[in-house]
Structure 1
């Protein structure tokens, strides 16, 4: 069941995993991060960028922050500079955690309505369901990043949700 504790746990998990994967990606260097590795968003950096773009879209839908100026199709090239990307990723993770701390049970029972560029129309879904999607989307693409990092010789840490509050 999606409740405020679930949302808060998943927000912490998102931040923890992003920090871990960015630290490993940082060791690879720019060329290795941008190398086309045959993934849907091509590279490690392209997939990281897509995740940042998607999280900014969800923050826009959830709390009204600025919407990214580019489409999802262009999300792999969203932030070109790695240091700028990392700073922005950390800021967005903090924003997601701060927002998660405000979620109330009654709010989760409502409906989230937004315009979907991918669907080309307005969508409405139960808020709890939309949040499950958001967190599942993050986990899915981080799994791709983890696999690409491993294939590149990096040693990303554990990804088990059960370890989210454990020291690495």
Structure 2
């Protein structure tokens, strides 16, 4: 189950991997990032937009941060300007890391009740399971983006947790 240490490790990994993916994606033209590549959300940008939306939704539930102004149906259209998106993503990744540092270890033992717009009903689940969901959702969609970047000729760096650079491990 998820714990404070798990959240810290995964928040550090999230920061590292988003920097990795965005660096590789920035080598592509806007047209290449927006090209439909047959993935679930179509393009690199649409997938990254949905991922950012999901992170904001989960952190709003965990830490009462602002939630996105749109629902899941519009989650793929949040990137109006690539540089602005990259800056907002980097800032939010630091906010996820801050939450992981600040969250009390016993917080993971409780349940979270929320209204799920995707399912149209109120749900209650263990917080530890939902933290795993947030980080798993990131990894899942970054994997899709990694495949699209590779197909487009970009070269993302390493992705395996044991190869996370030491400067990220100490954050």
Pair in the same fold by TM > 0.5? yes
Displacement of 1:167: 6.7
- Correspondence 1:134-149 to 2 at 5 A: 134-149=134-149
Alpha-carbon offset, residue 67 of structure 1:
1.5
CA distance in 2, matches of 1:66, 1:104: 20
Of the structure 1 ranges 71-80 and 45-54, higher mean CA displacement relative to structure 2 is found in 71-80
**Aligned counterpart, 1:35:** 35
SS at match of 1:69: coil
Q: Measure how far apart 1:105 and its partner are.
A: 2.1
Distance 1:39 1:167 in 2: 33
Residue 105 of structure 2 corresponds to 105
Q: Which residue of 2 aligns with 1:8?
A: 8
Q: How many residues align?
A: 168
Tell whether 2:73 aligns with 1:73: yes
* TM-score using structure 2 length: 0.94
Please give the alpha-carbon distance, in whole angstroms, between the structure 1 residues aligned to 2:146 and 2:36: 15
- 1:11-30 maps to which residues of 2 (within 5 A)? 11-30=11-30
Gaps in structure 2 of 5+ consecutive residues: none
| Correspondence for 1:126 | 126
Please report how far the alpha carbon of residue 104 of structure 1 lies from its aligned counterpart in structure 2 after TM superposition. Answer: 2.1
For 1:160, the equivalent position in structure 2 comes to 160
User: In the alignment, is the contact (CA less than 8 A) between 1:60 and 1:67 conserved in 2?
Assistant: yes
Backbone CA RMSD of aligned residues: 1.3
1-structure distance, mates of 2:105, 2:71: 32
Distance 1:91 1:59 in 2: 13
Residues in 1 aligned to 2:3 and 2:134: alpha-carbon distance in whole angstroms: 15
Distance 1:153 1:98 in 2: 34
What is the CA distance between 1:165 and its match in structure 2? 3.1
Contact residue 70 and residue 78 of structure 1 kept, 8 A: no
TM-score where L is the length of structure 1: 0.96
Taking the aligned partners of 1:151 and 1:21, their CA distance within structure 2 comes to: 14
Q: Secondary structure at the match of 2:76?
A: helix
Show structure 1 runs of 5+ residues with no match: none
Deviates more, 1:74-83 or 1:142-151: 74-83
